[in-house]
């Protein structure tokens, strides 16, 4: 792991990877808006530049030391920044779960959908965090790699377990102990984002595609295979197929996976590396099979019965979007109460029914079934025990490793 005092500048390969992600990857568009949107998400002026200039200054405080004076008792409010379409909403624009939280606790939530991608959002709040100032936000939701970076910098407050009884009890086992936040001392997952295999039955002639080996080697799929532009998902799935664990990947393991992918690319097996734009190609049958994100598939299957998904026997990759309390936040206890509220199964079920990604809350199945039995039975939202056991996460990388890995992946994809 890196020293907390190491400057956090981004290398050219890292910046290229983030541009790929914003152009077509998980960071490009809002979570539920992926299929409805017509183009890639825009990067606000200064977003990427804020990260690529002189680098992020070294952290001056640990997460435990970065707590501000808590004004929760006298100021019954909390400011929550989230991704668009990541909260239940009625056609009239109401937010039922947020309204219920206010009725129950007397705490008003200022809810803002101002996270369009991780890089842009971090560019917004970095200056205040670096200066030890309040960002104006008590709770944020960012993807695991950025959560890890913020924790490492000391720009996140340590959570008080006494304020999180439901979260502590109901957090699903597979999310409990990421290497970047052991024991979830600073974060709780909002949702999981699985990367699995998808295929169009019509395009495959009715054949199932259930492994990365088929994607990379089956001659009947030649030229009609899509892989993801997200390095951790594509390489992670390939490592699993090779019998390697992404949680403990070595440089040699990574190199072997890249060599295997390069061989398939040189043979013409891979049509292209894609972000979320694989959805159109898969629906049309231009891609017969591809790596895919689970939330997309639930929506795709609703419109096209030819679309199927497979969980490889070797396992699948999961990333997370995570709730954090930034350093300097004025209403820490109120934010912790809001986190805990969303770990009540009845409340969590309403979120799962709306956003269609993996719910990290144990005990939610019965409540979700009351809303929609098909969703409650869908393993892409509520993995059963067997599927959960196949979930893997890419280990945290040092800056040096990330530069080397992203550079090799960029050369493979032609980015």
- Same domain for 274 and 244, yes or no, is yes
- Same domain for 174 and 248, yes or no, is no
Question: Is 339 part of a structural domain of the chain?
Answer: yes
- Same domain for 127 and 251, yes or no, is no
Encoded tokens for 176? 């409990």
Question: Is 29 part of a structural domain of the chain?
Answer: no
Query: CA–CA separation, 283 vs 275, rounded Å?
Result: 15
Question: Is 125 part of a structural domain of the chain?
Answer: yes
The answer to whether the pTM exceeds 0.75 is: yes
- Same domain for 215 and 269, yes or no, is yes
DSSP string covering 15-45:
HHHHHHHHHHSTTSS-TTTTTT--SPPPPPT
**Helix, strand, coil content of the chain in percent (nearest 5):** 40, 15, 40
Q: What is the pLDDT of residue 87?
A: 96
- Same domain for 254 and 165, yes or no, is no
b/e burial code for range 224-262 (CB count within 10 A of at least 16 → b): bbbbbbbbbbbbbbbbbbeebebeebeeebbeebbebbe
- Same domain for 138 and 85, yes or no, is yes
- Same domain for 147 and 243, yes or no, is no
The Cβ of residue 106 has, within 10 Å, a number of other Cβ atoms equal to: 9
Say whether 116 sits in a helix, a strand or coil: coil
Q: What is the pLDDT of residue 11?
A: 57
CATH number assigned to the domain comprising residue 126: 3.40.190.10
Q: What is the pLDDT of residue 371?
A: 96
Helix axis angle, 231-241 relative to 399-413, nearest 10°?
90
How many structural domains are present in the chain?
2
- Same domain for 215 and 175, yes or no, is no
Q: What is the pLDDT of residue 21?
A: 53
Among residues 278, 285, 179, which one has the least CA distance to residue 234?
A: 278
Q: What is the pLDDT of residue 59?
A: 39
Question: Is 121 part of a structural domain of the chain?
Answer: yes
Question: Is 380 part of a structural domain of the chain?
Answer: no
Q: What is the pLDDT of residue 145?
A: 87
- Same domain for 247 and 120, yes or no, is no
- Same domain for 275 and 408, yes or no, is yes
Question: Is 357 part of a structural domain of the chain?
Answer: no
Question: Is 387 part of a structural domain of the chain?
Answer: no
- Same domain for 182 and 248, yes or no, is no
Q: What is the pLDDT of residue 67?
A: 59
- Same domain for 112 and 224, yes or no, is no
Q: What is the pLDDT of residue 12?
A: 59
Among residues 295, 297, 298, 291, which one has the least CA distance to residue 312?
A: 291
pLDDT tens track, the chain, 415 positions? 333 334 455 555 556 555 555 545 554 444 444 433 322 333 333 333 334 333 444 434 444 445 568 999 999 999 999 998 899 999 999 999 999 999 999 999 999 999 987 878 999 999 999 999 999 999 999 989 889 989 999 999 999 999 999 999 999 999 999 999 999 999 999 999 999 999 999 999 999 999 999 999 999 999 999 999 889 999 999 999 999 999 999 999 999 999 999 999 999 999 999 877 899 999 999 999 999 998 888 888 988 999 999 999 999 999 999 999 999 999 999 999 999 999 999 999 999 999 999 999 999 999 999 999 999 999 999 998 889 899 999 999 888 998 899 999 999 998 6
Question: Is 394 part of a structural domain of the chain?
Answer: no
Range of the domain at 273: 193-318+399-413
Say whether 109 sits in a helix, a strand or coil: strand
């Amino acid at each position: 792991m890196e020293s907390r005092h190491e400057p956090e500048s981004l290398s050219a390969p890292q910046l290229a990877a983030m541009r790929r992600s914003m152009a077509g990857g998980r960071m490009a568009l809002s979570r539920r808006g992926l299929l409805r949107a017509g183009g890639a998400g825009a990067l606000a002026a200064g977003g990427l530049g804020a990260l690529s200039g002189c680098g992020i200054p070294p952290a001056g405080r640990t997460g435990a030391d970065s707590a501000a004076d808590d004004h929760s008792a006298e100021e019954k409010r909390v400011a929550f920044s989230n991704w668009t379409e990541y909260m239940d909403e009625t056609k009239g624009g109401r937010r039922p779960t947020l309204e219920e939280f206010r009725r129950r606790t007397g705490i008003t939530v200022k809810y803002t959908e101002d996270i369009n991608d991780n890089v842009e959002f971090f560019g917004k709040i970095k200056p205040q965090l670096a200066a030890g100032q309040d960002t104006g936000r008590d709770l944020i939701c960012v993807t695991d790699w950025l959560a890890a970076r913020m924790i490492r910098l000391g720009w996140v407050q340590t959570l008080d377990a006494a304020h999180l009884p439901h979260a502590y009890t109901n957090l699903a086992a597979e999310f409990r102990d990421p290497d970047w936040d052991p024991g979830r001392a600073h974060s709780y997952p909002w949702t999981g984002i699985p990367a699995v295999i998808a295929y169009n039955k019509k395009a495959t002639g009715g054949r199932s595609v259930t492994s990365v080996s088929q994607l990379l080697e089956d001659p009947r799929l030649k030229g009609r295979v899509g892989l993801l532009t997200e390095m951790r998902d594509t390489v992670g799935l390939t490592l699993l197929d090779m019998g390697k664990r992404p949680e403990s990947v070595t440089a040699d393991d990574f190199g072997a996976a890249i060599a295997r992918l390069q061989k398939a690319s040189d043979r013409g097996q891979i049509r292209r590396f894609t972000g979320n734009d694989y959805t159109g190609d898969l629906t049309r049958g231009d891609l017969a099979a591809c790596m895919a994100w689970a939330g997309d598939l639930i929506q795709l299957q609703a419109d096209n019965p030819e679309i199927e998904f497979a969980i490889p026997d070797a396992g699948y990759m999961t990333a997370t979007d995570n709730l954090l309390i930034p350093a300097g936040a004025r209403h820490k206890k109120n934010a912790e109460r809001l986190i805990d509220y969303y770990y009540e199964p009845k409340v969590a079920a309403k979120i799962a029914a709306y956003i269609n990604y993996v719910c990290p809350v144990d005990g939610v199945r019965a409540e979700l079934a009351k809303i929609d039995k098909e969703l409650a039975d869908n393993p892409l939202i509520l993995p059963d025990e067997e599927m959960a056991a196949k979930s893997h996460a890419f280990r945290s990388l040092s800056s040096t490793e990330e530069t080397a890995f992203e550079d090799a992946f960029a050369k493979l994809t032609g980015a």
